[in-house]
Amino acid sequence: MGEAELLHFEDFRSGQIFRLGRLTLTAEEVIAFAREFDPQPQHTDPQAAKHSMLGGLAASGWHLGALAMRMMVDGLFIRATSMGAPGVDEIQWRRPVLVGDTIRLEGEVLDTRLSSRPDRGFVRFRFSMLREEERRNGELVMMFVCSVMFRRRTTG
């Protein structure tokens, strides 16, 4: 993909919605992440997890953040001029996500603004991670608001 075809700062406008992929959470992945970064029984031990506040083997919130990042890269940044993000305003973990759940990610553009540096601008997104269910399709499980830097097509 050539530079001109990549999404630049100018290509984003408020109200746009990007659908950024879906995946089904496996026990192996949940346990592997948790053993390295969040070794608590509700994330690493299927038996103990049944009796926890979350009601079953659940992904670490930080794992969900990392999975959201992966979906952002594969679904959007791969065809855009992302230059990273200076932070996240807020992350809400609304519902536990359990092994076997299928989740998807959507990103809505809230607003855009130029940076003081002439080569880039900020696009502020609200990312929503939704759980797919047979009856209630699209239950919100995680939400975060994040400004991402993108290169401008024209500078100055």
Partner 1 sequence: MWFEDIPLGVKLTLGSYTFTEENIIAFGKRYDPQPFHIDKDAASHSVYGGLIASGWHTAAVWMKLMMAERHTRVAAGAEETQENYVSPGVRELRWLKPVRPGTTLTYTNETFAKLDWKSRPQFGLLEGKNEARDEAGELYYSFINRVLIARKP
CB of 73 to partner 1, least distance (A): 6
Please identify which residue in the block is written with the tokens 């993909």: 1
| Binding characters for partner 1, 71-110, by CB under 8 A (x = yes) | --xx--x----xxxxxxxxxxxxx----------------
- Which 3 state secondary structure label does DSSP give 31? helix
CA distance 120 to 76: 17
CB of 18 to partner 1, least distance (A): 16
| Side-chain-side CA neighbours of residue 98 (13 Å) | 11
| Binding characters for partner 1, 39-78, by CB under 8 A (x = yes) | xxxx---------xxx-----xxxx-xxx-xx--xx--x-
CB of 87 to partner 1, least distance (A): 4
Closer residue to partner 1, CB minimum distance, 82 or 112: 82
Question: How many other CB atoms are there within 10 angstroms of residue 117's CB atom?
Answer: 11
Closer residue to partner 1, CB minimum distance, 1 or 53: 53
- Beta carbons of 104 and 24 less than 8 angstroms apart: no
Q: In the chain, where does DSSP find H-type helix?
A: 27-37, 41-44, 46-50, 61-75
CA-angle at 9, arms to 131 and 69, nearest 5°: 30
Tokens of residue 58, six digits: 């659940």
Closer residue to partner 1, CB minimum distance, 13 or 91: 91
CB of 136 to partner 1, least distance (A): 19
CB of 134 to partner 1, least distance (A): 26
Judged by the rule CB under 8 A, the positions of this chain that interact with partner 1 are: 33, 36-42, 52-54, 60-63, 65-67, 69-70, 73-74, 77, 82-94
